[in-house]
Chain A
Amino acid sequence: MNEVSSPVESDRKPGVKAGRRLAVVSSMDTGQAPSPDALVEMMAQVAQRRDRQAFALLFRYFGPRLKTFFLRWTPSSAAAEDLVQETMLTVWRKASYFDAGRAGVATWIFTIARNIRIDHLRRQRDPLSLQPEPDIAPETVEDGVLGAERDARVRSALTALSPEQQTIIRLSYFSEKSQTEIADELGIPLGTVKSRTRLAMNRLRALLEERS
Chain B
Amino acid sequence: MTISHHATDETLMRYAAGALAAAPAVVVTAHLAGCPVCRARVGEYEALGGALLEGTEPTQMSATALNDTLAMLDDEDAAAPFAPPPLAPVEIEGVRLPDALRGCDIGRWRWIGPGMKMSRVGVPEDPEANLILLKVGPGRALPDHGHVGTEFTYIISGSFSDRFGTFRPGDLAEMDDDVEHQPVVDKDGECICLAALEGRMRFKNVIGRMLQPIFGI
Binding site for B on A (CB under 8 A): 3-4, 33, 50, 52, 55-56, 59-60, 62-69, 71, 77, 80-81, 84-85, 88-89, 92-93, 103-111, 113-115, 117-118, 121-122, 125-126, 129, 132-133, 138, 140-142, 145, 147, 150-151, 153-155, 158, 169-170, 172-174, 176, 197-198, 201, 204-205, 208
Contacts and interface: CB of A to CB of B under 8 A. Distances in A.
Nearest to A158: B51
Given A55-B73, A106-B50, A174-B17, A126 B32 contact: no
A125 to B, nearest CB: 7
Sort A-B residue pairs by CB-CB distance and give the 7 closest, nearest first: A107-B50, A64-B58, A106-B50, A114-B18, A154-B47, A140-B42, A110-B49
A140 B76 contact: no
Contacts, number: 174
A103 B50 contact: yes
Given A67-B59, A106-B54, A59 B66 contact: yes
A142 B65 contact: no
B56 interface: yes
Contact of A106 (B51, B57, B58, B73): B51
Q: How extensive is the interface on chain B, given as a class?
A: 35 or more
A208 B44 contact: yes
Given A65-B54, A154-B47, A173-B52, 17 more contacts: A59-B65, A63-B61, A64-B58, A67-B61, A84-B65, A85-B72, A93-B79, A110-B52, A117-B18, A121-B125, A122-B125, A126-B127, A138-B43, A140-B39, A150-B44, A176-B19, A201-B10
Interface string B11-47: 0011011110000000000001000100110111011
B53 A110 contact: yes
Contact of B40 (A142, A158, A174): A142
B58 A114 contact: no
Contact of A85 (B14, B42, B50, B65): B65
Contact of B47 (A56, A132, A150, A201): A150
Nearest to B53: A110
12 contacts: A55-B73, A59-B65, A84-B65, A85-B68, A115-B18, A140-B42, A141-B39, A145-B40, A145-B43, A154-B51, A201-B10, A208-B44
A55 to B, nearest CB: 7
A106 B59 contact: no
Nearest to B17: A173
